[in-house]
């Protein structure tokens, strides 16, 4: 796994932020990116953003707890980078599971299987 990657000028955020955003997006539909950082947004019910120096939130403090829990999960997985994931697509309705520890995301026309490559 790649660590310590700096800012990516083309997107205006660090590689770590993009790695965390991908992890969040696999586990929570509320995942989002904003100029202030990576976080969770629940429309007008509130948001929480993890910036470089603090977590900022609006309206729903429970989003801070959710973001903190998801961040802890990302750390526990070893801070996986985008290139650490493997993805496969199978037809919708096919009862195929990802390898152990992976995730299955049911889409409209297919099932997306995502897992971390073994180190």
Q: How far apart, in whole angstroms, are the C-alpha atoms of residue 5 and residue 1?
A: 11
Q: How far apart, in whole angstroms, are the C-alpha atoms of residue 14 and residue 87?
A: 23
Cβ neighbors of 29 (< 8 A, separation 6 or more) are none
- What is the predicted pLDDT for the residue at 5? 54
Split at pLDDT 50, 70, 90, the class of 2 is: very low
- What is the predicted pLDDT for the residue at 1? 34
- CB count in 10 Å sphere of residue 29: 11
Average the pLDDT over 29-51 and give the result: 89
pTM of the model: 0.80
Split at pLDDT 50, 70, 90, the class of 67 is: very high
Q: Percent of the chain beyond pLDDT 70?
A: 88
What are the φ/ψ torsions at residue 25 (nearest 5 degrees)?
Answer: -70, -25
């Amino acid at each position: 796994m790649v660590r310590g990657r700096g800012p990516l000028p083309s997107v205006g955020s660090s590689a770590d932020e993009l790695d965390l955003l991908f992890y969040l997006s696999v586990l929570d539909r509320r995942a989002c990116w904003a100029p202030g950082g990576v976080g969770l947004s629940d429309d007008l019910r509130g948001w929480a953003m993890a910036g470089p120096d603090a977590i900022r939130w609006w309206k729903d403090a429970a989003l801070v707890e959710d973001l903190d829990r998801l961040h802890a999960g990302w750390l526990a997985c070893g801070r996986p980078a985008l290139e650490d994931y493997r993805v496969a697509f199978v037809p919708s309705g096919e009862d195929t599971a990802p390898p152990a520890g992976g995730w299955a995301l049911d889409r409209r026309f297919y099932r997306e299987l995502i897992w971390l490559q073994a180190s």
